[in-house]
């Protein structure tokens, strides 16, 4: 399948060099070490207001499954790390706090993705960490503090050890 590239030129001279501005316009991802986080900040107090306005309609404010079926999954658990078998949430299943920022900024609100400011995303992230009993209501989330948050579920994650061969894993 792979080509015999022995006779290939060092470059085909197809495509063009990307400019820094082009890269910055698309480079929205956040790594666990915080690389990619923008300037800005917010805490759970401001986050709760935004969440109520822009998120609660789909995700609810409760922690348990309600009788009504909501468009989006529940995001909160009563106590960090608990009830994982019943309900998988940020508090008991997410290994990195940076993922919350990254995902909300790129994909939420579902019906208007990419519309939140960095301060709004920091605030909502802080609120979701607070509502999952991981940080307190005043703690400011920013490029320095967010990657430092220790997530309860982190220790549970292991890399896949399947490797082909007869053993069922």
Partner 1 sequence: LFKSSYGRMIQTAIPESLYTDDPTKVVGPPPGAVGARSPFEHPVKKASDTSSRTPLQDLYGTITPADLHYERHHAGVPVIDPHKYELLIHGMVDKPMVFTLADLKRFPSVSRTCFLECSGNFRSNKETLTPQEICGLTSQSEWTGVMLTTLFREVGVQPRASWFLAEGGDAAVMTRSVPVRKAWDDAMIVYAQNGEAIRPEQGYPARLLLPGWEGNTNVKWLRRLELSDQPFMTREETSRYTYPVKDRIRQFSFEMDARSIITFPAFPQQVEKGWIEIRGIAWSGWGKIAQVEVSTNAGKTWQPARLQEPVLDKAHTAFRYLWQWNGETTEILSRATDETGYTQPTIQQLLNARGADMGGYHLNPVTAWVIQRDGKVLFRPEKWK
| Interface residues toward ligand HEC, by CB under 6 A | 54-55, 57-59, 71-73, 75, 103-104, 108-111, 124
Partner from partner 1, ligand HEC, Ca ion, none contacting 124, C-beta within 5 to 8 A by type: ligand HEC
- Min dist CB 88 to partner 1, Å, is 7
- According to CB under 5 A, which one of 4, 150, 160, 167 is a site residue for Ca ion? 160
- Min dist CB 124 to partner 1, Å, is 14
Q: Does 29 bind Ca ion (CB under 5 A)?
A: yes
Burial 32-58 (b: 16+ CB within 10 A, else e): eebeebeeebbbbebbbebbeebbeee
Partner from partner 1, ligand HEC, Ca ion, none contacting 55, C-beta within 5 to 8 A by type: ligand HEC
Q: What is the four-CA torsion angle of 94, 117, 69, 64, rounded to 10 degrees?
A: 40
Partner from Ca ion, partner 1, ligand HEC, none contacting 72, C-beta within 5 to 8 A by type: ligand HEC
- According to CB under 8 A, which one of 34, 38, 40, 95 is a site residue for partner 1? 95
Q: Find the helix packing angle between 118-131 and 97-107, rounded to 10°.
A: 130
**Nearest-CA neighbor of 121 among 25, 28, 24, 41?**
41
Question: How far apart (Å, rounded) are the C-alpha atoms in residues 81 and 144?
Answer: 24
Q: Does 21 bind partner 1 (CB under 8 A)?
A: no
Question: How far apart (Å, rounded) are the C-alpha atoms in residues 75 and 110?
Answer: 14
Binding-site ranges for Ca ion (CB under 5 A)? 27, 29, 36, 160
């Amino acid at each position: 399948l792979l080509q015999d590239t022995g006779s290939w030129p060092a470059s085909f001279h197809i495509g063009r060099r990307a400019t820094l501005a082009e890269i910055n316009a698309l480079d929205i991802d956040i790594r666990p070490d915080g690389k990619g986080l923008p300037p800005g900040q917010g805490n759970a107090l401001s986050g709760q207001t935004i969440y109520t306005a822009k998120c609660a309609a789909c995700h609810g404010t409760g922690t348990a499954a309600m009788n009504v079926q909501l468009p989006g999954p529940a995001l909160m658990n009563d106590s960090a790390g608990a009830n994982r078998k019943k309900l998988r949430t940020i508090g008991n299943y997410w290994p990195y706090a940076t993922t919350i920022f990254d995902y909300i900024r790129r994909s939420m609100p579902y019906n208007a993705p990419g519309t939140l400011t960095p301060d709004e995303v920091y605030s909502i992230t802080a609120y979701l960490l607070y509502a999952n009993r991981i940080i307190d209501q005043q703690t400011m989330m920013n490029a320095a503090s967010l990657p430092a948050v220790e997530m309860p579920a982190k220790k549970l994650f292991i890399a896949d050890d399947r490797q082909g061969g007869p053993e069922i894993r």
